[in-house]
Amino acid sequence: MKDIYHINSSKGLTIQDVERDLGKMLAQCSHVKKVLIIPPDYTRCFSKAGIITQLLYRALCRTAEIDIMPAVGTHVMISDEERQKFFGNIPKSCFLHHKWQTDTVKIGEIPADVVTKISDGLFQEAIDVEVNRKFWEDDYDLILSVGQVVPHEVVGMANYSKNIFVGLGGRQMINKSHMVGALCGIEQALGNDHAPARQVFDYAQEHYLQGKPLIYILTVTTTTETGTALNGLFIGKDRKAYEKAVALSQELNITYLDRPAKKIVAYLNPEELKTTWVGNKGIYRTRMAIADGGELILLAPGIHAFGENEEVDTAIRKFGYIGRQKILEYYNQGCFPDQLMVPAHLIHGSSDGRFSITYAVDPSKMSREEIDQVGFRYANVFEMMERYDPEKLQEGWQTMPDGEEIYFIHNPATGLWRLRA
């Protein structure tokens, strides 16, 4: 098919723009009777993937059977409330739930020598390529993967084939790709579209997905005073469309600071970010802008757990965010059997003592003891928001009434903040 690219960096695209572009894509897809749509889950609610999925459903529902399988990865199943907020009135019967522990099939392998080369020898094991069984075995005429390209701590720039190999992936692929990213270093990944974990997915895409009727619908969005703007829509079957989206995201979603911030305050949207597993985006995306000895305060009224599932939550509570060196010692002792995503996450979520991290939470959802136990500083979010009111603070540098200088971020999940070279 012919790729479709539509960019409006200033004002953003309208619903009518998106509808026309989707129509152009579907006009190139003849005799479609059975469709699988793969959007993100609600933790990517600022992606505009919800409205795109609604538009696709309306365009196809009269002539084709439609399944919708959110790319949840290891996250919790999308709730009815989240489904309705994100996907509108699409019937619940259309939705399928991917279970990463049980619903996958191995379709190939990334050889150990390839992984060793990608990781510069830091990880030397083969990786099974696992995907959802229904995605792989069912007779879909068309598969549409929808999602947002934005800087990402593991894969460098999010979405594209990550939506398949993690969003619909299995234990080994998720575990080992995340560990490759952690061992190679978060600073090597963030904002880089050829990060080591991305190279893992590129190999799997090139060798095992070429025969699937798969089209990627990729978005680039920005946060505005009135909400979220869709600044770019990129539709295609291969990496070319992804690279176009990456270029726009690198332009719009990366903010460069001229000097390091001694204190960053970031607000974690309670509807989107409910666990530290996803809430730690506030750490990943800001860490390269924080001064040595500085402080990061995360205003996190929605946080009620550490992991997105019981298995991961238990492991985080046991080990905590105690720094790269200590976690690697536990890893080398075999403390994470078949759970490599956990040490990867714990490494990424630690400042290694370079700056302090305060989680300001709702005490009815998370206690001081729980926050202290995993290695963060505790604060009451309601007390913190009396001083740092996200409704009143402006994005960026500002001076508080008592003279304290802070850098405020409304939504760290939608970008990356780093020092100018």
Residues 329 and 371 in one domain: yes
The span from the CA of 69 to the CA of 37, in Å, is 6
Please identify, among 200, 223, 252, the residue that sits at the C-terminal boundary of a domain.
Answer: 252
Is residue 351 a contact partner of residue 283, using CB atoms and an 8 Å limit? yes
Q: Does one domain contain both 20 and 160?
A: yes
Which two structure tokens, joined as six digits, stand for 159? 């979405």
Closest to 153 in 3D by CA, of 297, 243, 43, 283: 283
Number of domains into which the chain is organized: 2
Is residue 215 within 8 Å of residue 32, measured between CB atoms? no
Residue 310 domain boundaries? 255-419
> Same domain for 370 and 275?
yes
CA distances to 139, 292, 339, 390 from 312, rounded to whole Å, are: 34, 30, 8, 30
Pairing of strands 34-38, 4-7: unpaired
Q: Is 107 helix (H, G, I), strand (E, B) or coil?
A: strand
The domain boundary, picked from 234, 252, 270, lies at 252
Do 238 and 292 have their domain in common?
A: no
Question: Rounded to the nearest 10 degrees, what angle do helices 15-27 and 49-60 cross at?
Answer: 50
One-letter amino acid of 113: D
Q: Are residues 272 and 233 in the same domain?
A: no
Residues 313 and 296 in one domain: yes
Beta strands in 57-197 (DSSP E): 65-68, 104-110, 127-132, 142-148, 151-152, 156-157
Supply the pLDDT for residue 75.
80
Looking at the structure, do residues 273 and 131 belong to the same domain, yes or no? no
Q: Residues with Cβ < 8 Å from 237, sequence gap 6 or more?
A: 1, 3, 214, 215, 216
pLDDT at 225: 78
For residue 259 the two structure tokens come to 């000097």
Domain harbouring 333, CATH code: 3.90.226.30
Mean pLDDT by 10 residues, the chain (421 residues): 94 96 95 95 81 96 95 84 90 94 95 97 96 96 96 95 96 94 92 96 97 97 87 96 97 97 97 92 96 98 94 95 95 92 94 96 97 97 97 95 96 94 80
Shared domain check, 273 and 141 = no
Give the burial string for 202-233 (b: 16+ CB within 10 Å, else e).
Answer: bbbbeebbeebebbbbbbbbbbeeeebbbbbb
Longest Cα–Cα distance of the chain, Å, equals 66
CATH code, domain with 161? 3.40.50.11440
DSSP 199-242: HHHHHHHHHHSTTS-EEEEEEEEEEETTEEEEEEEEEESSHHHH
Tell whether 248 and 259 lie within a shared domain. Answer: no
Note whether 210 and 282 are same-domain residues.
no
Domain closes at, from 202, 233, 252: 252
Say if residue 136 is in the same domain as residue 260.
Answer: no
Contact 227, 414 (CB under 8 A): no
Do the Cβ atoms of 220 and 245 come closer than 8 Å? Answer: yes
pLDDT at 44: 77
Residues 6+ apart with CB under 8 A from 88: 50, 51, 54
DSSP SS3 for 360: strand
